[in-house]
Each structure stands twice: as structure tokens, then as C-alpha cells.
Amino acid sequence: MNTMEHQSPTSLSALLDRLREQLGDNAVITGNDVTARSVDWLTGAPCLAAAIVRPGTPDELADILRLCHAARQPVVTHGGLTGLVHGTEASSEELVISLERLDAIEAIDPVGATLTVQAGAPLQKVQEAAEEAGLQFALDLGARGSCTIGGNIATNAGGNRVIRYGMMRQQVLGLEAVLADGCIISSMSPMLKNNAGYDLKQLFIGSEGTLGIVTRAVLRLQPAMPDTRAALVACPSFEALTGLLGHMRQTLGGELSAFEAMWRNHYRLLTEISGRHAPPLSTESPFYVIIESQAVDADRHGERFDQAFESAIEEGLLTDAAIAQSDAQRDGLWAIREDIEGLVSLLAPVMTFDVSLPIGDMDAYVEHVETMLREHWPSGRLVVFGHLGDGNLHLSVGVGSDDADTRHRVERCIYEPLADLGGSVSTEHGIGLEKRSWLHVSRTPEEIAVMATLKQALDSHSLLNRNKVITTDLQDAH
């Protein structure tokens, strides 16, 4: 990977003038309008980039990157800015390319069940467009109103329904991206089956904008499921929790759409301790789960849903249950699970982690992490919740400080035990800058070398999201 030659202020100024001439003054933002934008919703840190450039079309983005490539100008891509790993952080020597104007729903094909969309469209806008066509877009995240499709693709987002529909990768049929030199790679096929050579779109899904900037996508839609059932249940042990997962998979089959586990420390903090939510169930159980099922036939679905819980009680897999009787009650259950704002304020300064590991190892892993954290920070707090069915846990840690040394010590407690378990340091949020030095826990030296080879081949001057995910130093170190 080539060493970056920094732009001089004069050449950067000339580049911005050229961009204004080509795109118009409104497409280039500088000065206080740049720093007024936050790039970290947890800390409120301002954007430090030299300027923000806002293309209005994919062709304009291609023109921007051609000019930046000729000038050896590094860029950082911005979507909805809901990330958690500093993947959108930019220095004063970098330009931000914001896709906020590329937000159009271009086409919906109800027969083929596809939706063609530009990368800057918010996830919720795509969900609503699918609903208007009598279909659904299966991906769902708590940040649905802010996160963008391009960001979802760049990080291979997961969310609440992975257990049924898979990650973002499974929702993308076609994709268009612009390479560092301005070349447009358009693989916008709407076909579910397409084995005509390499599947190039897979290079860009989950690559965090380091190999190319996604501009458009053809998304796979699913049949609408008009009847949704949800319940919050309490489990007496981790064995009962995993047993309940298997039981619900067996009894509900493909209708099971979410199985969201909360450790007691999460449930109790956001209900009884903080008073932010009224607890639907007692806070004395070690584990709680939100179970959601979706189907077409309301009457039969309701019967199956109720019977699944009755048989689970008979088998001792749960001790109590609160079954939502309305959309408002269902939203209330999910509000406990999705109250990230509450966790941020209650654990401030908070450190957040998303990891994956074999389900059977989760209980022992969390106990081990909690023990290590207590040894260093007796008054610290660990809060755990996760998708469970897909092996994903979210851990939030508050120890009173988040300076660099403290963060590194906490990261060791979280990440080092994953190595022996075959776990991953990132499951939904990506690597960015924050997890780059821990990538070796989840990837072999050979895998990291191949990543570096791809980066060199597609972005030889390291202009796209430089130093995100991997660097030459990281490759050499591991």
C-alpha cells in the first residue's frame, strides 16, 4: 500500500475550486458548516474534514473521485453517521463525501419483488416504500430512521431479523459502486440467480467504503407479514434460554423472526434501576427474551404462538411471560431492548462492543468478562444483550473513564477471550479505526494479507477511507 502524499493547502484549495465549478457552490461545504456536523453520535465530536462534498448523482460522484485520484486527495464516505467504530472519522487533510443527496427510490418491481434505491436513502424510507407496494424489506435496525442503505451495505448490517432473513448481504441482488479512480462498477442485476463469473458486488458489501463507494443497489423484498406477535419472557437459566431458542425454532418454524436476549443487568438497569421503562415482568430472573413471530394468517398464527409458549412453560423453559396484545404493547417491549440512548446516559462514558461466538459458550464468556472487569474496576458496570439466535452479543461497559489506556484495558477483557472460542470482534458495526488493532483476533495473517492485496489492487494510493479496517503496519504486525 503506497504511502500517502499529503495535499498542500494551495492544491487542496484548487481542488475545491474545481469541484465548485463542476458541481455548484451548494455541493461543497467548508468552514463552520463542516465542524457543525457531528461524526460521532455517542460523543458529539465534530467533523474535522477540510470540506464536505455532496454529489447529486452517481456520475457526479465518479467525477469527484477522478479529480481526487488525480490530486491524490484522500476521502471519507458519510452515510447516516450511526456507526460505532469511528469508520466515518476524517482528518483535516481529508475530504468527506456525503451521500445525503443520493436518496432516491428509483424503482419497485412487485412481480420480481425488488427495489432499486440510491445509497443515501434512509433504511426507514426503503421499508415504507416496500410496504406501500404490499411487500417488506426485511432488514430492521434501531437506527432505521437515520442509517442509510449505503451504510447498511458497507457494514453488512444485521439487526433484529437476521435469524429469519439473514444479514444485509442476503438482501442485496445488485449493486453499483465507484472505485477510487472514478470508474463505475455496475452490477445492478435484479436476478436471484446469477453465476456469470465473479460476484463482484460481494467485494463491496462489508468493506466499509475502503474498496469503493456504493451508489445504488437492487434490494430483495419479501412478502408482507401482516400479523406480528411478540412477547417478553423470563428464563430461569442459560440452559433454559438456549432450550427455548430451539423450542421456538421447532414450534414456530420459519415464522420466528426475532429472538432478542437480555441479561438481567440490561433489563433491570433500563427498568427498575433507572425508571426509564415500566418492567412488564419481575426483574429477578437471570435472562429475558423478546420473541417475535410474523405470519399471514392471523387466527392460525395466534394459536401457534400461544401454544408454543404453553408447551415451553410445561418444559420449564420459561417462568413468566408478557404477551403483547397491541402494537403499542409490542413497541413498549422493544423500547426496553432498543433504548441505546438510555444505556449511553446511564453508563457514561460508555464503551460499546458487538461480538459473536458460539451460542453454547456465551454464558461462560460473559461471566469471564464480568470477572475480569470487576478485578480492575470493582464499581464498573457491564450490560449485555444480543440477537442470540445468530450468535451476536452486544456488551456495554461503564467504568468511569474512557481514556485511551482504560479503553485498551477494557478491550483486552472483551476481545482476548474470543480468540480461543473462534469468535469475532465485529458482527454488525464493522472494524473502522476502533477495532483495527484487534482484527488479528478474528482473522489469520493470510486473510489479512489477502485483504491488503485487494485494497492495493482497487485503491493503490489508499485514498478511500484510508487506514480503516487494515493498514500496511497491521498486515506486517500479524
CA nearest to 462, candidates 475, 449, 447, 452? 452
Specify the CATH number for 105-222; select among 3.30.210.10, 1.10.20.60, 3.40.50.1220, 3.30.465.10.
Answer: 3.30.465.10
Structure confidence by residue, pLDDT tens digits, 319-356? 999 999 999 999 999 999 999 999 999 999 999 999 99
How much is the pLDDT for 471? Answer: 85
Specify the CATH number for 347-435; select among 3.30.70.120, 3.30.450.20, 3.30.70.2740, 3.40.50.300.
Answer: 3.30.70.2740
Mean pLDDT, rounded, of the chain: 94
Structure confidence by residue, pLDDT tens digits, 356-388? 999 999 999 999 999 999 999 999 999 999 998
CA distance 434 to 425: 11
Strand order in the sheet with 75-78: 28-29, 51-53, 95-98, 75-78
Is 473 or 216 the better-scoring residue by pLDDT?
216
CA distance 459 to 465: 10
Asked which of 2-6, 187-191, 245-249, 459-463 is least confident by mean pLDDT, the reply is: 2-6
CA distance 167 to 324: 27
Structure confidence by residue, pLDDT tens digits, 41-81? 777 789 999 999 999 999 999 999 999 999 999 999 999 98
How much is the pLDDT for 10? Answer: 55
Which grid coordinates are listed for 131?
410496504
CATH topology of domain 9-98: 3.30.43
Specify the CATH number for 227-340; select among 3.40.50.720, 3.30.450.30, 3.40.630.10, 3.30.70.2190.
Answer: 3.30.70.2190
Which grid coordinates are listed for 28?
461543497
Contact assessment for residue 151 and residue 88, using Cβ atoms and an 8 Å cutoff: no
Which grid coordinates are listed for 319?
417462568
Mean pLDDT confidence for 295-299: 94
CA distance 359 to 403: 32
CA nearest to 301, candidates 351, 241, 253? 253
- Residue 317 clears pLDDT 80, i.e. is over it: yes
Tell me what percent of the residues of the chain surpass a pLDDT of 90: 89
Domain boundaries, the chain: 9-98, 105-222, 227-340, 347-435, 443-477
- Residue 421 clears pLDDT 60, i.e. is over it: yes
Structure confidence by residue, pLDDT tens digits, 114-168? 999 999 999 999 999 999 999 999 999 888 999 999 999 999 999 889 999 999 9
Q: Does 347-435 match 227-340 at the fold level? A: yes
